[in-house]
């Protein structure tokens, strides 16, 4: 059987709606989380723009009560990769180089999950655009214009 290098596996398949499950140092918890690629053009962009889901729906809603339009709830029935209903706080957008994810995959710390429906990705992009906390440079990666 031919072994496909992690770099080729990831770079050849990354697209809007790609979902990766891995631990990230930017989070308090060292547990893996689901990260969703929301760039318009992740293959050609220098960095990937990721949002992270949480199963702690009420906690996230309390934290974002001043900006409810910046969260997106995703039911486990809407995305096959989730085992529980989840929420994404789109005030936190993570920029990561593709090589960072390739290294996580190489080290066995990243799992590639089923692709998320583009309808949900569009909701995430709209929430990013509404966020007062996401920088303009990150918003350009998801802007429809």
Structural domain of 33: 6-140
Residue 60 is part of a domain; what is its CATH number? 2.30.30.110
Would you say residue 124 lies in a domain?
A: yes
Whether 82 contacts 74, CB under 8 Å? yes
Whether 61 contacts 71, CB under 8 Å? yes
Would you say residue 33 lies in a domain?
A: yes
Instruction: Round to whole Å and give the CA distance between 49 and 63.
Output: 22
Instruction: Round to whole Å and give the CA distance between 98 and 102.
Output: 6
Residue 3: its pLDDT value, please? 84
Would you say residue 46 lies in a domain?
A: yes
Would you say residue 17 lies in a domain?
A: yes
Q: Which residues pair with 52 in a beta bridge?
A: 35
Would you say residue 57 lies in a domain?
A: yes
Would you say residue 24 lies in a domain?
A: yes
Q: Are strands 71-74 and 19-22 parallel, antiparallel or unpaired?
A: unpaired
Instruction: Give the model confidence (pLDDT) of 68-126 as tens digits.
Output: 999 999 999 999 999 999 999 999 999 999 999 999 999 999 999 999 999 999 999 99
Compute how many other C-beta atoms are within 10 angstroms of the C-beta atom of residue 94.
16
Return the closest-CA partner of residue 124 out of 91, 77, 81, 79: 91
Instruction: Round to whole Å and give the CA distance between 41 and 46.
Output: 10
Would you say residue 1 lies in a domain?
A: no
Count of domains for the chain: 1
Q: Are strands 86-89 and 71-74 parallel, antiparallel or unpaired?
A: antiparallel
Lowest mean pLDDT among 29-33, 58-62, 80-84, 125-129: 29-33
Would you say residue 145 lies in a domain?
A: no
């Amino acid at each position: 059987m031919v072994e496909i290098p992690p770099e080729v596996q990831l770079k050849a398949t990354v697209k809007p709606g790609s979902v990766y499950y891995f631990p990230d140092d930017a989070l308090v918890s060292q547990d893996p989380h689901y990260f969703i690629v929301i760039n318009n053009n992740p293959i050609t962009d220098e960095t990937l723009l990721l949002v992270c889901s949480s199963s702690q729906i009420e906690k996230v809603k309390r934290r974002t009560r001043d900006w409810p339009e910046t969260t997106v709830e995703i039911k486990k029935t809407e995305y096959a990769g989730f085992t529980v209903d989840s929420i994404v706080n789109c005030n936190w957008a993570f920029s990561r180089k593709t090589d960072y994810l390739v290294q996580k995959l190489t080290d066995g710390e990243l799992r590639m999950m089923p692709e998320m429906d583009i309808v949900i990705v569009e909701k995430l992009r709209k929430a990013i655009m509404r966020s007062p906390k996401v920088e303009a440079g990150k918003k350009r990666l998801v802007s429809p214009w």
